[in-house]
A and B are shown apart, each in its own frame.
Chain A
Amino acid sequence: MESLYITHVCKIQSQQIILNDKVVFEDVESADLNSFLKNGYKNQAYDYAKFFKMDHLSKLTFLAAEPILQDQDDKNIALVFMNRAASLDTDVKHQQSIQNKEAYYPSPAVFVYTLPNICLGELSIKHKLQTENCFFVSENFDSKLMYNYAEYLIRHKNVDKVLCGWIDVLENEYRAVVYLVEKQGEIEHSRNELEQIFI
């Protein structure tokens, strides 16, 4: 059975965006996550105004996935993501907006993001991916589940590539690790390799 390969890895952590081990953006100055995300977007000169309507989870997903997806012509890319906090960062904002009895003005734009899989919807909308999506909630990155799921989709489900990711955000704590699994490449798709990527 031929191997599958991990071909692109994009990480966002400690105010850096790192694509394939190279730091493509660094912003030590930004005061908070919001500024960092905005600066990251501007730095890459993306032309996608909808970015500014997204919540932090979706913005982080966008910035981690876009460097990989923008060069992909193939639309047959499934999306399998996972995190620990689900949509809690935005849930808190929604909760705050319904808490005040006197000034009760919940925002539909905030509520829309109170589900973790919306970030996948955003990628699908931008890149017109009508493929399979799944979002798992797990205490830590479950390399066994992610490895099996990606292998299964490509080997048995006629999917060409799978974009996998761990995107977790809660207030100013965040970490994103997104990688592409496909049939050709150099680094073997294996649980060992996945664990190395996540160190």
Chain B
Amino acid sequence: MSKRVAITGMGIVSAIGNSVAENFDSLKNGKIGIGKISLFETRHQNEILVGEVKMSNVELENSLHLPHSHNYTRTALLGAFAVKQALQQANITDCNDKKTAFISSTSVGGMDFTEKYFYEYFENTEIERFITSHDAGHASHEIAELIGLEGLVTTISTACSSAANAIMLGARLIKSGRAERVIVGGTDALSKFTINGFKTLMILSDTYNTPFDDNRKGLNLGEAAAYLVLEAEEVALAAGKNILAYVAGYGNANDAFHQTASSENGDGAYLAMEKALKVAQILPEAVDYINAHGTATPNNDLSEGRALIRAFGDKVPAFSSTKAFTGHTLAAAAAIEAVYSVLAIQNQCIYPNLNFKTPMQEFHLIPETKFVSAPIKTVLSNSFGFGGNCSTIIFTK
């Protein structure tokens, strides 16, 4: 009775590549995208490192063939760029030939341009058009219009777990027969708003982030966009589509502890993983690889580590955080990591948790530190957001 949710297309743009192939190549060859900020000036220039997408706004505009009068901020540009790739891989030329929905996510929205142009709005009529781009939902509707989608469009904003929640909702829409196809994912551009905010919470590292390391100092922020095309299995098969993987399980739970810190025992994380395993109807032993949230903050890695041990006992599967490659891309994180999870299944591999030197004192958890080939059938991906919003997605071959 329950339909299977197939993934038929993916698109991604991040600090380590402007396409799925480029991203995979970087992951395989240890090429990181973290460095000093170059997109704009900030007083924190010499104190932080970030993961910037190596494309300017002009390059993005040109590749999308946008008219000069467009009002896409960088968040929307990155999003549109990734959505188009996903549609292309899924062989979709008409978004409405099947009942299709679009669920996007963001935390920055149009803030990246509002903060740039705010004081000029009264004098400079040229940039007035960006006033309406501010809202979190604007980019989603803009992208839907660009691709001609007429179905449901909505935007989820639950911090760092947003895109995972988008994937979860998309899968549910398909399973319940309310949609045949859903494009899901998220996008966030770097902004001073976010950098300044995270700086004041004192969770940014001044050097390369070191997930799950005892001496970890904090995260590097990043920007990215990624989208997946989810289709009801019978719809995909009937159209002769190539199925990349399946969304087999998902779960969301609240940590109920603090607005921005995770509970010591990782309650929310543990519950999310348990729920996902239950939906997927698999035992913990069946998981071959975990793509951890692993932001390298003292708090997250401890909390997540404890949750992993609670969920998997002394048989925690091979795990790693890819945030040492891309930085923490906020609302896009779960989406880019979904793409990496699917690639792990397609290529039968596990990514390295870079920069790891010293195991954490609190427990015995050693992440995979090399890029290795391994039989991978089931991947679990964690994304935990502020507000205690914890989500887990399970992908299978």
| B164-215 CB contacts (< 8 Å) to partner A | 165, 169, 172, 176, 178, 192-193, 196-202
Among the interface residues A104, A133, A142, A156, which one has the most CB atoms of the partner chain B within 10 A?
A133
B254 & A115 in contact (Cβ 8 Å cutoff): no
| B318-353 CB contacts (< 8 Å) to partner A | none
A138 & B387 in contact (Cβ 8 Å cutoff): no
Which partner residue on chain A sits nearest B105 by CB separation?
A137
A152 & B258 in contact (Cβ 8 Å cutoff): no
Q: Which of A2-10, A117-125, A174-182, A188-196 contacts B (4 or more CB under 8 A)?
A: A117-125
For chain B, the count of residues having a C-beta within 8 Å of the partner chain is 48
Q: Which of B107-115, B287-295, B355-363, B366-374 contacts A (4 or more CB under 8 A)?
A: B107-115
Asked whether A43 is an interface residue with its Cβ less than 8 Å from the other chain, the reply is no
Q: How many A-B residue contacts, CB cutoff 8 Å?
A: 138
Task: For A128, list chain B residues within 8 Å (CB).
Answer: 256
Asked whether A91 is an interface residue with its Cβ less than 8 Å from the other chain, the reply is yes
B115 & A125 in contact (Cβ 8 Å cutoff): no
B152 & A145 in contact (Cβ 8 Å cutoff): yes
Partner of A134, one of B111, B169, B255: B169
Asked whether A136 is an interface residue with its Cβ less than 8 Å from the other chain, the reply is yes
A152 & B172 in contact (Cβ 8 Å cutoff): yes
B387 & A117 in contact (Cβ 8 Å cutoff): yes
Task: For B385, list chain A residues within 8 Å (CB).
Answer: 115, 117
Which partner residue on chain B sits nearest A145 by CB separation?
B154
A53 to B268: give the CA distance in the assembly, Å: 23
Complex A-B: 24 CB contacts under 8 Å: A86-B136, A86-B157, A98-B192, A106-B199, A107-B200, A112-B260, A112-B386, A116-B157, A117-B385, A118-B386, A120-B389, A127-B256, A128-B256, A130-B254, A130-B271, A133-B387, A133-B388, A134-B158, A134-B169, A135-B158, A136-B157, A137-B136, A137-B156, A152-B176
Given contacts A104-B43, A124-B388, 20 further A-B contacts (CB under 8 A): A86-B157, A88-B135, A95-B193, A98-B193, A98-B196, A101-B43, A106-B196, A106-B197, A108-B202, A113-B259, A115-B385, A115-B386, A115-B387, A121-B254, A121-B388, A124-B254, A124-B255, A125-B257, A137-B154, A137-B156
